[in-house]
Amino acid sequence: MNQPLTFSIIIPVYNEQGYLDHCLRSLALQTVKPDEVIVIDNNSTDDTAAIAASFDFVTLLREPRQGRIYAQDTGVRNAKGKIIVRLDGDTRLPPEWMARAKEYFTTHPTVDAVTGKGSFYDVHHLGNVVSVLHGFFYFSVQRFLTGTYILWGSNMAIKKEVYESMQRPDSAMVHEDIDLSLKLKKADKIIALVPELKAEMSMRHGRYKPKETLLYLAGAPQTDFKNGFYLAGVLYGLILGIVYVSLLPVMLVLSIGSSLFGA
């Protein structure tokens, strides 16, 4: 008989004291508990490690090499579960997330990795617009251009043996979740988008800050280029450029408003 699937949640963190408590509390409220939760502290200088250590179900590890991919690999290497759930320190899961993930992997044994959509809980001015736009471009547009769904590092799960068989990115300029997805595509692995696996995140990457937003967006086509998806990289870069220019006036107004009024 097949052994039941086991799930390890890994959370690489760096200075997440403003977010991690909410993330871990959402894991404590899961109707079906994960088999283990591993937080990997990547040289935080705030209270992140202390917050992680305050939860008795958390295993706290430390990774001295700076970089999310190093912390992520340390978590995977020490994980005992057959399925790796990858979250960020600002992710908040609804109580039924783990139950739905276990059910999906159990009933879809040929799927190698899954990802879910999300909403941003701190985009007060634009409401659901940003979440809808992000979901459309991150999942629908990139799938059309690359031929595969793209894993979202804030809300994804992958078979451990499959993850360990993939080569790691050799540049800090790439998005590691997109990089992993494209490598899975080239290896003929199956990625599924599961709408039921919803989560909430913070929109921390350049929130209302045009320069930081531009640098973050530029990482996606760069990752395409690194993996040989040249046409996809060019087209996606053009699409993101048009969207960025279109939203730039709004970002400038909100950025100024946030600075003046502390919104």
* Complete domains list, the chain, with CATH: 7-261 (3.90.550.10)
CA count, 13 A, side-chain hemisphere, 69? 17
In the predicted model, is pLDDT for residue 183 greater than 80?
A: yes
Query: What angle in degrees, to the nearest 10, is found between the helix axes of 230-261 and 210-226?
Result: 160
Q: How far is CA 153 from the centre of its chain?
A: 2
- In 3D space, the residue among 208, 215, 200 whose CA is nearest the CA of residue 256 turns out to be 208
Token pair listed for 224: 């395409």
Give the pLDDT mean for 187-207: 87
Angle subtended at Cα 237 by Cα 236 and Cα 242, rounded to the nearest 5 degrees: 100
> Model confidence over 32-74: pLDDT tens digits?
999 999 999 999 999 999 999 999 999 999 999 999 999 999 9
The 3-state DSSP class for residue 95 equals: coil
Runs of H (alpha helix) within 66-155: 68-78, 97-107, 128-135, 142-146
In the predicted model, is pLDDT for residue 233 greater than 90?
A: yes
**In this structure, what are the phi and psi dihedrals at residue 155, rounded to the nearest 5 degrees?**
-160, 80
> Model confidence over 138-179: pLDDT tens digits?
999 999 999 999 999 999 999 999 999 999 887 767 899 999
Confidence label for 108 from pLDDT (cuts 50, 70 and 90): very high
Which residues have a Cβ under 8 Å from the Cβ of 165 and sit 6 or more positions away? Answer: 187
pLDDT at 261: 45
CA distance readout (Å), 108 to 22, 111, 114, 155, 157: 30, 6, 10, 18, 13
In the predicted model, is pLDDT for residue 207 greater than 50?
A: yes
Rounded to two decimals, the pTM is: 0.89
CA distance readout (Å), 52 to 11, 32, 91, 151: 10, 20, 14, 25
Spatial separation of the C-alpha atoms in residues 51 and 58, rounded to whole Å: 10
Confidence label for 131 from pLDDT (cuts 50, 70 and 90): confident
Which amino acid, one-letter code, is at 177? Answer: D
In the predicted model, is pLDDT for residue 127 greater than 90?
A: no
Cβ neighbours around 45 below 10 Å, total: 9
Share the mean pLDDT of the chain.
90
More confidently predicted of 54 and 204: 54
pLDDT at 43: 96
Spatial separation of the C-alpha atoms in residues 229 and 238, rounded to whole Å: 14
Give the pLDDT mean for 189-195: 97
